[in-house]
């Protein structure tokens, strides 16, 4: 007979309720082509892709401590690989997206070996320099339009589906599937032994090293996997846009600054943070878009206020007050009734 008055669990009632609500929401979102208009589907597709980018950047910066300001390198690389593999390799766009992820992982290996020699602010600057090298390199490729860019041929676009409505639905489902895949992969990874090691590195790198955790290898794996997924998301982004240019593909404002804003205001180092941050970012963007450059000023003011009043982001503030945990990662000691 077990007489221990305490038990160790991972889940909580809030997590179970959140899982049920999440499953219902997912079913509703999958059915969006039957109840939402084209503009709404495009907006939600963009939201899902930003959520994926923010979740990946949060894994890298919030857990591994790799604060990159050059992730647009892999967004642009993935987009250009989609165009190159479909236009010159004759691949179907879906196969090209998957291959773009593999190529993104391969190209990130020598990049990681190089920039991992840098620390702190120098690492961040190094990632930005690498992204600029990518931008300048692809701007020299005349077969892909050079500096002015290129459009995806109509035949390739129609290979997705013959009707426009079906193509838009497929693009939406791909974006939704990418967000679900990225969040699920990050959640399962953080629950694994490797994820536990990464969490230890986040909390105290020196202590983690003293326990036998290989800091360099763990961060290297995170960087390569994150780069691969980011390249796939980049390919999806430009499959929706149907046109690519160096300035659009490697835009630090669109693919890194906004992503950092989302993670910081939502709550860095948590899975819930990027979800909340993405919703807040799109709410502000859709509300203030008509204000022009003032919209960017408002975003900056919001970010400063959140960092001053809630350094752990909106989700950090909520969790500290109500002790909520939607994605159960750690263990909880509870008293038996």
CATH number of the domain bearing residue 114: 1.10.3470
Give CA–CA dist 42/76, Å, rounded: 20
Count up the domains in the chain and report the number: 1
In a domain, 287, yes or no: no
pLDDT for 88: 92
pLDDT for 14: 79
Contact 274, 263 (CB under 8 A): yes
Write a three-state SS string for the chain.
CCCCCEEEECCCHHHHHHHHHHHHHHHHHHCHHHCCCHHHHHHHHHHHHHHHHHHHHHHHHHHCCCCCCCCHHHHHHHHHHHHHHHHCCCCCHHHHHHHHHHHHHHHHHHHHHHHCCCCCHHHHHHHHHHHHHHHHHHHCCHHHCHHHCEECCHHHHHHHCCCHHHHHHHHHHHHHHHHHHHHHHHHHHHHCHHHHHHHHHHHCHHHHHHCCCCHHHHHHHHHHHHHHHHHHHHHHHHHHHCEECHHHHCCHHHHHHHHHHHHHHHCCCCCHHHHHHHHHHHHHHHHHHHHCHHHHHHHHHHHHHHHHHCCCHHHHHHHHHHCCCCCCCCCEEEECC
In a domain, 132, yes or no: yes
pLDDT for 1: 52
In a domain, 78, yes or no: yes
From first to last of the 337 residues of the chain, give the pLDDT tens digit: 555 677 777 777 778 888 899 999 999 999 999 998 889 999 999 999 999 999 999 999 988 888 999 999 999 999 999 999 999 999 999 999 999 999 999 999 999 999 999 888 899 999 999 999 999 999 999 988 888 889 998 888 888 888 888 989 999 999 999 999 999 999 999 888 888 888 888 788 888 888 888 889 999 999 999 999 999 999 999 999 999 999 999 999 899 999 999 999 999 989 999 999 999 999 998 888 777 778 888 888 888 898 888 888 999 888 888 777 788 777 777 666 6
Residue 206: count of CB within 10 angstroms of its CB: 8
Closest CA to 219 of 105, 56, 60, 72: 60
pLDDT for 3: 59
The residue range of the domain holding 130 is 8-251
pLDDT for 194: 83
pLDDT for 214: 87
pLDDT for 135: 94
- For residue 211, give Cα distances in angstroms to 105, 192, 207, 290: 29, 17, 6, 53
In a domain, 72, yes or no: yes
In a domain, 310, yes or no: no
In a domain, 44, yes or no: yes
In a domain, 174, yes or no: yes
Contact 100, 85 (CB under 8 A): yes
In a domain, 333, yes or no: no
């Amino acid at each position: 007979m077990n007489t221990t008055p305490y038990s160790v669990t991972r889940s909580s009632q809030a997590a179970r309720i959140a899982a049920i609500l999440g499953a219902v929401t997912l079913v509703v979102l999958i059915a969006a082509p039957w109840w939402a208009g084209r503009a709404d589907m495009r907006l939600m597709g963009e939201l899902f892709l930003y959520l994926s980018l923010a979740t990946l950047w949060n894994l890298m910066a919030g857990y591994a401590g790799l604060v990159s300001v050059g992730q647009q390198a892999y967004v642009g690389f993935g987009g250009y690989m989609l165009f190159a593999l479909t236009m010159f390799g004759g691949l179907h766009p879906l196969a090209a997206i998957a291959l773009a992820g593999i190529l993104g992982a391969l190209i990130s290996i020598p990049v990681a070996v190089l920039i991992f020699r840098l620390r702190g602010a120098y690492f961040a600057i190094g990632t930005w320099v690498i992204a600029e090298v990518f931008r300048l390199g692809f701007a020299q490729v005349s077969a892909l339009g050079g500096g002015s860019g290129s459009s995806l041929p109509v035949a390739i676009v129609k290979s997705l589906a013959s009707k426009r409505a079906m193509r838009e639905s497929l693009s939406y489902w791909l974006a939704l599937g990418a967000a679900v895949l990225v969040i699920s992969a990050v959640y399962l990874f953080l629950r694994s032994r490797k994820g536990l090691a990464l969490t230890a590195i986040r909390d105290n790198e020196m202590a983690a090293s003293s326990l036998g955790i290989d800091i360099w290898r763990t961060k290297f794996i995170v960087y390569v996997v994150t780069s691969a997924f980011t390249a796939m998301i980049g390919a999806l982004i430009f499959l929706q846009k149907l046109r690519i240019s160096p300035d659009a593909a490697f835009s630090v404002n669109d693919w890194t600054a906004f992503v950092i804003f989302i993670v910081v205001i939502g709550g860095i180092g948590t899975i819930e943070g990027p979800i909340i941050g993405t919703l807040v970012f799109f709410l502000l963007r859709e509300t203030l878009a008509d204000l022009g450059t003032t919209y960017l000023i408002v975003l900056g003011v919001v970010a400063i206020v959140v960092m001053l009043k809630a350094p752990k982001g909106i989700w950090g503030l909520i969790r500290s007050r109500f002790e909520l945990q939607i994605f159960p990662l750690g263990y909880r000691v509870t008293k038996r009734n």
